[in-house]
Amino acid sequence: MSKLVPPHGGKGLVCCLLHGNELNAEQEKAKGLKKIQISARAKGDVIMMGIGGFSPLSGFMTKADWKGVCEKFQMADGTFWPVPVTLDCTKTDADGIKAGDEIALENDGVIYATMKVSEKYELTEADKKWECEKVFKGEGEESADDKFWKIAMEDHPGVKMVMAQKAFNLAGTVKVLSEGEYPEKYKGVYLTPAEVRAMFDERGWADVAALQLRNPMHRSHEFLAKIAIEVCDGVLIHSLIGNLKKGDIPANVRVKAIDCLVEHYFVKDNVIQAGYPLDMRYAGPREALLHATFRQNYGVNKMIIGRDHAGVGDFYGLFEAQTIFDKIPTDLAEGKALKCMPLKIDWTFYCKKCDGMASLRTCPHSKEDRVILSGTKLRKALSEGAEIVDHFGRDEVLVILKEYYQGLTEKVEVKMQGAASGAVMK
């Protein structure tokens, strides 16, 4: 009998991926269906529906779902959900589609799913702006009313993504036909919720924390994971292996770096490394909630939330991704509330006077004594060939990252935000 937290939504793992004869028949049928070209983001969403990562979702959201999620963190049936999962299409495609139609969802020549359309609805420019203000606008300096729209269209990849969406959304259930490149490209790292749960059960874990990563692990990440290991049965180091923004370090390099760190600096029985196939939305606090929601489906009941989780620029408050968990609806019907709770950890760093890793809760010294650690700061230094300060990362990991940057032919400017530089630390 599993001791793990149940999947989100009260329906068990809802897996839309077909197998065997059913898959073969649907693939054949898909050849004759109208094909809709989907974005990389939608491709990741489809795969997550396929493997049960987005349970209880079995398709793309209706307008009522979209509105409820943006406005009050709930789908139309009352289930907690923090960010819209929608499928856009052009007006030309939408004109030829009606409720009840079946279509094929294609990306880069691969049909990832078929979908039975239940609703077609327009999203105006005003609707998209409203979504952005609800989902991406935070409490940081760049989210101030007089700054947000001046800055976001240039510097916020999530806002740019939503505003670039096509004019119509299609809602409906999906039958997933492909997991894309992930099973082969990331063999042993790309794991489904069922596979991860089985690994937890085999180890007898009940209390499991997840560390979200989109950067290689530096010393702060390592410290966060080890804090969680001390108070939980184990930790899932869970890396995004979908698309990131330009200038971020690709998944294969990050996986190699994490493997190296786990090999040399962790007790392997207490940690599992895995990857999941989503694109980053850079929604800060809302994305922290999304990370907790789908981690619950992987069997995780605690989400490690540190400084500026899933943030970009200075759009979000330093610990807004922690406090948002205190603002979500909890008095919901059985199974519909979020059960994966935050493990809130203060700003962490290396302190020279403490002679070790510390946080604002444990270190009494000044910021001049501290080595401020952040993925953005590390990427900026590596991209510019600058010296990496002592205690920033493990030497074995830095060798891997320097080798990657030395092989780049095109350099991308990395913008520093206040939190990453340490400028806002008192």
d(C-alpha 297, C-alpha 57), whole Å: 11
d(C-alpha 168, C-alpha 158), whole Å: 18
Residue 24 known to be catalytic? no
Annotated active-site residue in 169, 215, 243, 301:
215
d(C-alpha 353, C-alpha 366), whole Å: 9
d(C-alpha 189, C-alpha 179), whole Å: 14
What contacts 406, CB < 8 A, 6 or more positions away?
none
Is 238:213 a contact under the CB 8 Å cutoff? yes
Angle at 156 between CA 376 and CA 276, to 5 degrees: 65
Is 174:215 a contact under the CB 8 Å cutoff? no
Residue 413 burial (CB count, 10 A): 9
d(C-alpha 207, C-alpha 197), whole Å: 12
Reported as type and span, the H/E element at residue 251 is helix 251-265
d(C-alpha 223, C-alpha 350), whole Å: 10
Q: Which of 351, 346, 358, 364 is nearest to 390 (CA)?
A: 351
Buried b (16+ CB within 10 A) or exposed e, 280-313: bbbbbbbbbbbbbbbbbbbbbbbbbbbbbbbbbb
Residue 214 known to be catalytic? yes
Is 242:39 a contact under the CB 8 Å cutoff? no
E-state strands within 65-180: 87-89, 102-107, 110-122, 168-176
| Residue 354 backbone dihedrals phi, psi, to 5 degrees | -70, -20
Question: Residue 18 corresponds to which amino acid?
Answer: L
Angle at 182 between CA 82 and CA 205, to 5 degrees: 65
Annotated active-site residue in 41, 197, 214, 295:
214
Is it true that the peptide bond before 56 is cis, omega within 30 degrees of 0?
yes
Q: Which of 82, 81, 93, 100 is nearest to 38 (CA)?
A: 93
d(C-alpha 115, C-alpha 85), whole Å: 14
d(C-alpha 363, C-alpha 357), whole Å: 9
d(C-alpha 199, C-alpha 272), whole Å: 9
Hey, which residues are catalytic here? 214-215
